[in-house]
């Protein structure tokens, strides 16, 4: 599939594996990563021990839905 969800600690993005500058070995994930189509950063919950950034299920679902839609359009 061309578009995929990349979930890291505290952030999630929909990425394009066919972008001319896509690098599967690039270690980071940021809103300005060249192949990022959509990006969300989690919330900082300092009251929870050992958990600094969390993503809501709503954001995760949105990323998956966008990814599914984009891949469907490519079919």
Distance CA 75, CA 73 (A): 6
pTM of the model: 0.87
Distance CA 22, CA 15 (A): 9
- φ, ψ for residue 72 (rounded to 5)? -65, -40
Q: Report residue 68's pLDDT band, with 50, 70 and 90 as the boundaries.
A: very high
Between 8 and 48, where is the model more confident? Answer: 8
pLDDT at 51: 63
Q: For the segment 19-61, what is each residue's pLDDT rounded down to a tens digit?
A: 999 999 999 899 999 999 999 998 877 666 666 778 999 999 9
């Amino acid at each position: 599939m061309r578009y995929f969800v990349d979930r890291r600690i505290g952030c999630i993005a929909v990425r394009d594996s066919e972008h001319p500058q896509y690098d599967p070995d690039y270690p980071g994930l940021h809103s300005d990563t060249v192949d990022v189509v959509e990006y969300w950063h989690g919330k900082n919950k300092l009251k929870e021990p050992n958990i600094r950034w969390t993503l809501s299920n709503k954001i995760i679902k949105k990323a998956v839905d966008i990814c599914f839609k984009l891949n469907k359009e490519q079919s």
